[in-house]
Amino acid sequence: MLPESVTKAREILQDVTPLRTDCGLTCGGACCQSLPGETTGMLLFPGEERWYEGRSGYAMTPTDHGMLLTCSGHCDRADRPLSCRLFPLLPLLREDGIKVATDLRARTVCLLAKQGKDALLPEFVAAVREVGRILAEDDDQRAFLAQLTRTQDELKALRRQFRRDAHV
Ligand code: SF4
Ligand code: SF4
């Protein structure tokens, strides 16, 4: 069984999507496709691996950042992991609460991520915020959100550094 917080989070994002239309029609579902020589993978939230144990079409690999799920590039909607349901946004854990941000890792593949969250349906942004609040009440999920937040901050710092260096 999934942790209760993860079940709730997945339910909230079961039907709400970034746009009213299928954004995959414009990009060919880029976020589900692997680049040549690579395999598409996404980090599972703590406990979410239980959903995929023994399920065909998926493989899991432990990493320093958590369990990495790889897939065939096609899935039933009910099987989408939380990372895919949140994409291209993330709920980040800040001192003054949950903040919704575009996932910096998404910018290389996703047109929507390049446009920013203001281009997305407000219902989707609100659902991601609500999911963040629910996860933050569970210690394991909160720790995972904190780790995701640190990773985003490190990426942001790297991007700033890169821009500064490019202007020297
Ligand atoms: S890459 Fe972005 S625009 Fe394309 S299907 Fe995924 S979320 Fe939608
Ligand atoms: S699990 Fe489903 S939504 Fe996520 S990358 Fe694979 S095919 Fe796409």
Assessment of whether the complete model's pTM goes beyond 0.85? yes
> What are the structure tokens assigned to 59, written together?
């493989």
Which of the ligands is closest to the CA of residue 52?
2
Task: Give the range of the structural domain holding residue 101, as residue numbers without chain letter.
Answer: 4-15+24-167
Helix/strand/coil for 95: coil
Q: In this predicted model, what pLDDT tens digit does every residue of 91-118 receive, in sequence order?
A: 999 999 999 999 999 988 999 999 989 9
**Which residues contact ligand 2 via a Cβ below 6 A?**
32, 40, 42, 71, 73-75, 80-81, 84
Q: In this predicted model, what pLDDT tens digit does every residue of 38-96 receive, in sequence order?
A: 666 899 999 999 999 999 999 999 999 999 999 999 999 999 999 999 999 999 999 99
Number of domains in the chain: 1
For 13, 23, 74, the CA distances from 78, given in Å and listed in that order, are: 10, 18, 12
For 37, 72, 73, 134, the CA distances from 34, given in Å and listed in that order, are: 8, 9, 8, 31
Which of the ligands is closest to the CA of residue 73?
2
